[in-house]
């Protein structure tokens, strides 16, 4: 195994443990044993456990960020009244494709290092900025776009959390239908 492949393997194992049981369960001994390596390799590659956690958080934040960027790309080609629905569809598809990545940020595990919350704050700022831009693109006279963006962000987060918690009841199709109908009712209440 190459050094980079081993590094990714260790990060994947740490992520699986954190996803299932929280940061407290991802001890150097457990990670090393699961990876089939000596625990000293963890220290060589990451400095210490905190370094491993920060690298894991940064890797997953980059993945989620790239997935969000992909979800909102090309919205200019979508009908204006459907752009936020299309963005939600894209993020929902990313959540389904990479649930462990999104669980890390939608349900921060107990014992998470402060870096996780810092990345959450950064990503929230990006998402809120996106919502404000989209809302103003559709309605330049919108009253309180920042508050509206915060409400949309909170609602979207709640729907994604429901989907991860109970994917059968909060199925992707059910959520998509709900968001489409909600978007239509907000854009044209008389329908």
pLDDT in tens, 41-54: 999 999 999 999 99
| Span 76-94, average pLDDT | 87
Q: Write down the pLDDT at residue 188.
A: 52
pLDDT band per the 50, 70, 90 thresholds, residue 110: confident
Q: Which of the two residues, 31 and 77, has the higher pLDDT score?
A: 31
What proportion of the chain, given as a percentage, has pLDDT over 90? 82
**Exposure string for 20-37, b = 16+ CB within 10 A, e = fewer:** eeebeebebeebbebbeb
Amino acid 22: pLDDT: 95
Q: How far is CA 52 from the centre of its chain?
A: 20
Give the pLDDT of residue 12.
98
pLDDT band at 74 (very low <50, low <70, confident <90, very high): confident
Give me the mean pLDDT over the 7-15 stretch. Answer: 97
Give the separation between CA 93 and CA 160, rounded to whole angstroms: 10
Q: Is the pLDDT of residue 75 over 80?
A: yes
Position 183 pLDDT exceeds 90:
no
Question: pTM, whole model, 2 decimals?
Answer: 0.89
**Domains defined along the chain, listed by start:** 1-47 (1.10.10), 58-187 (1.10.357)
161 pLDDT more than 60: yes
Pairwise CA distance, residues 174 & 18, whole Å: 29
Residue keyed to tokens 């956690």:
53
* Residue 168 CB-half CA count within 13 A: 0
Mean pLDDT, all residues of the chain = 92
């Amino acid at each position: 195994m190459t050094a980079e492949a081993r590094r990714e393997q260790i990060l994947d194992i740490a992520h699986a443990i954190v996803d299932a049981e929280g940061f407290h369960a991802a001890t150097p001994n457990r990670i090393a044993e699961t990876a089939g390596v000596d625990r000293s390799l963890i220290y060589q590659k990451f400095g210490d456990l905190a370094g491993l956690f920060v690298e894991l958080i940064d890797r997953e934040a980059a993945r989620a960020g790239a997935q969000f960027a992909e979800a909102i790309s090309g919205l200019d080609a979508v009908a204006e009244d459907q752009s936020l629905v299309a963005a939600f569809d894209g993020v929902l598809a990313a959540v389904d494709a990479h649930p462990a990545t999104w669980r890390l940020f939608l349900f921060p595990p107990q014992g998470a290092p402060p870096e996780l919350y810092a990345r959450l704050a950064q990503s929230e700022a990006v998402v809120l900025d996106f919502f404000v831009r989209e809302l103003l693109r559709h309605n330049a006279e919108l009253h309180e776009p920042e508050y509206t963006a915060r409400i949309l962000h909170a609602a979207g987060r709640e729907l994604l959390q429901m989907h991860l918690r109970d994917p059968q009841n909060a199925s992707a199709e059910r959520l998509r239908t709900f968001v489409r109908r909600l978007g239509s009712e907000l854009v044209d209440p008389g329908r």
